[in-house]
Structure 1
Amino acid sequence: MPKMKSLLPLAILPLTAIGLTVFADPLPPDATYRPLPTQPFSDVKRMDEAQKPDVMKRQQALFNQRYDMSNRPLPGVMMSGGRKPVQGGVRVKLPAGMTWERLANMSPDEIRQRNLFPEGFKPLPHVKQSTGGQVFPTNQIAEIDRLEQRDLRRFDVDFDLPDHLTPEFPPPIFLTTHPELGDVSRGQVLSFRNYYEIMNGIITPVQMEGLRLLLTPFPQEEFNQTEDRKVAAPSLGVACLDCHTNFHSNAAFHLTPDVRPQSARFRLDTVSLRGMFNQQIHGSKRSLRSVEDFTEFEQRTAYFNGDHVSATRKGVNLPDRPNQVAMMAQMQNIIDFPPAPKLDSAGRLRADKATQQELAGEKVFFGKGRCAECHVPQTSFLDNNMHDLKLERFYRVGEVANDQVVIPDGPIKTFTLRGLKDSPPYLHDGRLPTVADTVEFFNLVLGLKLNQQEKEALTAYLLTL
């Protein structure tokens, strides 16, 4: 096996066998920018369609190697809309002959040297890392096509997660301005065609205009009129709420616009917009300090795979800061978390509502589990800071999986835990399918040494938030 030449930018090196660990060579120095198309669109489309079965087969093989993808819901635990059960159990697979207890008692150096870090805890590659771009789940594609006759289906890839490991669809909408109304979505997906009827009389004129803009499709790298698109027919593009369905997440994913070269970029799972009123950091790595900054930056980077140079010819949208961006922010900032009837006003469990296991889990959360150090209840279970878990202590930097080069994650913002059960998969790239996986991940990475009873109690507590 060739040695890795450098920890500098790494090139794409296709795998010849699933599960084979290989190392990549450095990319040429001009790899910062995305290449322009060099072949006719018809040829590219034909090749992409021919390669698609193998692309999907390879990604599913990776998932099956890393995870138990079966449908195993927790009895009686539903997401906030009451239509979808929450999945239970640890789904990340361990190396042969290993147990979670034995692994937790090893040092990071030993785990790395013996290559025992679970594959499911490593960065998760995009379904087609060499191309990247937004990929939408089937239910969102079908609903937008029905409502707006706008096609979000790519011809080169399909969504790669099974439906039971994704959020409830459509998710409910809760407003800070009208908590007495509960879910105001009427069980529908908000779209450009129905938003006014659904929200008229509930939100202000400023918020209504912000909502209109959030539902307006704008050109995007894979969904546009140019020859390097990945949809069959020219498209108007995508809207903010195509990913953030009903201001929540539908598990659509992208590649972060903040890292180059292409092979080193990480998968970016769509986050919920619930509770934006308490969040002061936006973007997993960008540390943008307002939702207004995020909106402007998103239009020039994430929408165009991080390359603002390619935006102009595709039809760049430059939202006006005071007259458009501010209104979009006003709408986003009234989206509330789902009700959590077992919590009091300070974010602590009510003894008259919670079970003994949930109360025991709360003690772990504030004590041995160290969760509350970052996930502060008084500020929506987050601390508005960035943290580096130094995960590279456990794995070999430079490994390649489905064309993604594994590099350190670096600092990642703290995500809110409110409404956690509604937001699978977990972590910034969606590498953890269930809440139980997330508990197991942090138990190992932070060296918590939780026993099985403590882990189960912590999981039960997190499902109440």
Structure 2
Amino acid sequence: MKASRVLARTAMAAAVALVPALVWTQDSKPKPPQTPTSYMKVDITEPFNVTMERMKAARPAIERRQQELLAQRYDLSNRPASGVTMFRGKPVQEGVRVKLPKGVTWQQLAAMSPEDIKAKGLFPAGFLPLSHPNHPEGGMLFPKFHIDEVLRQEGRDLNRFDLSFDLPDHILPEFPAPIFLVSHPELGDVSKGRLLTIDNFHEMFNGLVNPKQLEGLRLLLTPFAQQQFNATEDRRSVRPSRGTTCFDCHANGHTNGATHLAGDIRPQELRHRIDTPTLRGVNVQRLFGSQRALKTVEDFTEFEQRAAYFDGDPVMATKKGLNILERGSQVHFMGEFQAMLDFPPAPKLNVLGKLDPKKATEQELRGEAIFNGKGQCVTCHAAPYYTDNLMHDLKTERFYKVQMVNGMKAVGDGKIKTFPLRGIKESPPYLHDGRLITLEDTVEFFNLVLETKLTDTEKADLVAFLRVL
């Protein structure tokens, strides 16, 4: 019995040892720098095959660690809401999925002060920032359904040998997502259930848009080298890769839930996970990027190619294949197409973006009143598009102590842009890093953070309203 325990401990220690601490340096025995550095290692001294085999061996332990974290935080079971679907019929998940600390209810928690919650360690773990599946490494990571379809259509492989996506398909947006155009509301979903790629874009959009917009779309669907997908020896694909496209994350101009790390902060442990936001409605937005304000969609498009694709490191961009887009034509054309992407229809809203009393249910109308009153949602999310085009700091660090979570340091979220809530049920999971699985989770989060003390009935009414936006 004693020998079996020793063997078990030895096996566990070996598994933990496989989890690399600084795998992005591509050194088998990484040495921390004597002084902090903003740069990644450029000269790779380890053969690619050695790196790949080492990271493949580490992968099971890394993924198991992330799945254990998710299981501790959330109920990720498939529990769809009755009669509530996304536009093309995918069920919307219901219920609060964030797990509470033992012995406390949501109402009890909401009655406590932030100071008491912090002192007693009662802030729900699912409300803490969410780490990347391998935070020290980071990088673009795509759901399997998107990888499979791109491979089928283009023969381009978005699989990473070191890591796979961490969240289950049923809590992600429907795929392929419908496409709505501000210029053609009469057509409804112009995707006809197809994933838009470089192989079919001309067939799908020739005759619907002008030549500039068609060229912009082509560029949005063109693979460009990226930190993990490129032709160098420090890529994360088995074969040299042509790269990724803008619409690999923003599939069909929406989102498929792909994740990445924000490139605008160092050291690595302080970088924020990004849940890909939808591009629907960028024509009414004035800030871009989830946490640092870019002022136009053209700024964002150019920034992505010059820096974000390479974790914010222009040195790596030069090495791996920086694609410099011409601002006056290419970037403008890409921005012009993005500005055509519309929100999904909301039949219960009037021309001012508010509920039509003749079409809405009593519960939805009560939810709208809470949204505009006690819930304080309207402070940031004003009709008709339910955004104020500003940035806000929720100061979530009031509720918890600084802590390390799977290689990420949870210190607070800082300023975050106000995303539009139009079509919100189509874009799970929620918040900038995807830490909130359902709209019910989102209501509980803001009820606690804003200290609004909603009743259970008021929370349910608010969710009903959000579902019809």
TM-score by structure 1 length?
0.93
Give the corresponding residue for 1:176: 182
Runs of 4 or more above 4 Å deviation: none
The answer (yes or no) to whether the contact 2:255–2:278 under 8 Å persists in 1 is yes
In the TM superposition, residue 270 of structure 1 has moved relative to its aligned partner by 0.3
Give the corresponding residue for 1:320: 326
The answer (yes or no) to whether the contact 1:214–1:240 under 8 Å persists in 2 is yes
Letter in 1 for 2:416: I
Which whole-Å CA distance do the structure 1 matches of 2:141 and 2:34 have between them?
Answer: 28
Question: Which stretch shows the higher mean deviation, 365-374 or 294-303?
Answer: 294-303
Give the corresponding residue for 2:392: 387
Which whole-Å CA distance do the structure 1 matches of 2:320 and 2:140 have between them?
Answer: 16
The answer (yes or no) to whether the contact 2:275–2:434 under 8 Å persists in 1 is yes
Aligned partner (choices 119, 124, 132) of residue 126 of structure 1:
132
Give the corresponding residue for 1:72: 79
Give the corresponding residue for 2:200: 194
- Tell me, which stretches of 5 or more residues in structure 1 are unaligned? 1-12, 16-25
Which whole-Å CA distance do the structure 2 matches of 1:113 and 1:27 have between them?
Answer: 35
1:376-435 residue CA offsets vs partner (Å, 9 max, x unmatched): 113x110110100000000112x1111111122110000110110000000000000000
The answer (yes or no) to whether the contact 1:281–1:288 under 8 Å persists in 2 is yes
Which whole-Å CA distance do the structure 2 matches of 1:280 and 1:216 have between them?
Answer: 26
Aligned partner (choices 276, 284, 295) of residue 278 of structure 1:
284
Which whole-Å CA distance do the structure 1 matches of 2:409 and 2:111 have between them?
Answer: 28
The answer (yes or no) to whether the contact 2:174–2:256 under 8 Å persists in 1 is yes
Letter in 2 for 1:196: H
Letter in 2 for 1:162: P
Give the corresponding residue for 1:60: 67
Change (3 A) 1:27 1:348: farther
Change (3 A) 1:364 1:152: same
The answer (yes or no) to whether the contact 1:207–1:328 under 8 Å persists in 2 is yes
In the TM superposition, residue 28 of structure 1 has moved relative to its aligned partner by 5.1
- Tell me, which stretches of 5 or more residues in structure 2 are unaligned? 1-18, 22-31
The answer (yes or no) to whether the contact 1:295–1:325 under 8 Å persists in 2 is yes
Give the corresponding residue for 2:141: 135
- The answer to whether the aligner puts 1:95 opposite 2:101 as a matched pair is yes
In the TM superposition, residue 38 of structure 1 has moved relative to its aligned partner by 3.4
Which whole-Å CA distance do the structure 1 matches of 2:192 and 2:419 have between them?
Answer: 28
Aligned partner (choices 391, 401, 417) of residue 396 of structure 1:
401
Correspondence list, 1:271-350, <5 A: 271-350=277-356
Which whole-Å CA distance do the structure 2 matches of 1:162 and 1:27 have between them?
Answer: 37
Aligned partner (choices 258, 269, 275) of residue 275 of structure 2:
269
Which whole-Å CA distance do the structure 2 matches of 1:31 and 1:226 have between them?
Answer: 22
In the TM superposition, residue 31 of structure 1 has moved relative to its aligned partner by 2.8
Letter in 1 for 2:414: G
Which whole-Å CA distance do the structure 2 matches of 1:323 and 1:176 have between them?
Answer: 22
Which whole-Å CA distance do the structure 2 matches of 1:191 and 1:14 have between them?
Answer: 35
Aligned partner (choices 358, 366, 391) of residue 360 of structure 1:
366
1:54-86 residue CA offsets vs partner (Å, 9 max, x unmatched): 11111000000000010000001000122x000
1:90-120 residue CA offsets vs partner (Å, 9 max, x unmatched): 0000000110000001110110111100000
Give the corresponding residue for 2:411: 407
Give the corresponding residue for 2:222: 216
Give the corresponding residue for 1:232: 238
- The answer to whether the aligner puts 1:444 opposite 2:451 as a matched pair is no
The answer (yes or no) to whether the contact 2:250–2:278 under 8 Å persists in 1 is yes
The answer (yes or no) to whether the contact 2:291–2:415 under 8 Å persists in 1 is yes
In the TM superposition, residue 157 of structure 1 has moved relative to its aligned partner by 0.5
- Of structures 1 and 2, the one with the larger relative CO (CA 8 A, separation 6+) is 1
Give the corresponding residue for 2:429: 425
In the TM superposition, residue 27 of structure 1 has moved relative to its aligned partner by 7.8
The answer (yes or no) to whether the contact 2:382–2:388 under 8 Å persists in 1 is yes
Which whole-Å CA distance do the structure 2 matches of 1:301 and 1:291 have between them?
Answer: 15
Which whole-Å CA distance do the structure 2 matches of 1:263 and 1:230 have between them?
Answer: 20
Which whole-Å CA distance do the structure 2 matches of 1:312 and 1:408 have between them?
Answer: 32
Letter in 2 for 1:66: R
Number of aligned positions between the proteins = 440
Cα-Cα RMSD: 1.3
The answer (yes or no) to whether the contact 1:186–1:198 under 8 Å persists in 2 is no
Q: Secondary structure at the match of 2:394?
A: coil
Q: Secondary structure at the match of 1:154?
A: coil
In the TM superposition, residue 449 of structure 1 has moved relative to its aligned partner by 0.5
Letter in 2 for 1:183: D
Change (3 A) 1:172 1:38: same
In the TM superposition, residue 352 of structure 1 has moved relative to its aligned partner by 1.4
The answer (yes or no) to whether the contact 1:52–1:157 under 8 Å persists in 2 is yes
The answer (yes or no) to whether the contact 1:14–1:402 under 8 Å persists in 2 is no
In the TM superposition, residue 308 of structure 1 has moved relative to its aligned partner by 1.2
Correspondence list, 1:10-89, <5 A: 29-36=35-42, 37-82=44-89, 84-89=90-95
Which whole-Å CA distance do the structure 2 matches of 1:300 and 1:30 have between them?
Answer: 24
Letter in 2 for 1:170: P
TM-score by structure 2 length?
0.92
Which whole-Å CA distance do the structure 2 matches of 1:435 and 1:306 have between them?
Answer: 32
Give the corresponding residue for 2:376: 370
The answer (yes or no) to whether the contact 2:20–2:58 under 8 Å persists in 1 is no
